[in-house]
Amino acid sequence: MHDTFVRIWQRAPSYDPGQARPFVWAYSILRGASVDKLRRKGRQKRGAGLAFESISGREIDAAGSSGVIHREVS
């Protein structure tokens, strides 16, 4: 979790309000970090297949809470 906040902080200068709302932008960084972590775990467990379901920013905005993130990264 700490690593994700560091990534968000480091990438803050690249945030473009015209592209996405802050929450959606931060979520995309969180999602990328989570996928990277799962891929690393998958490499450690040879033969482990990983499947990821994509969630759009609209779905996150519609949810209105971080429950969507917790459900997806848990």
Distance separating alpha carbons of residues 60 and 29, to the nearest angstrom:
14
- Residue 72 CA to its chain's centroid (Å): 9
Q: What is the mean pLDDT of the chain?
A: 75
| pTM for this entry | 0.54
Distance separating alpha carbons of residues 50 and 55, to the nearest angstrom:
16
- Look at the alpha carbons of 5, 34, 28, 73 in this order and tell me if their dihedral is positive or negative: negative
Residue-wise pLDDT tens digits, 1-30: 788 889 899 999 999 999 989 999 999 999
Please report, for the chain, the start and end positions of each structural domain, with discontinuous segments joined by +: 2-73
Q: What is the amino acid identity at position 35?
A: V
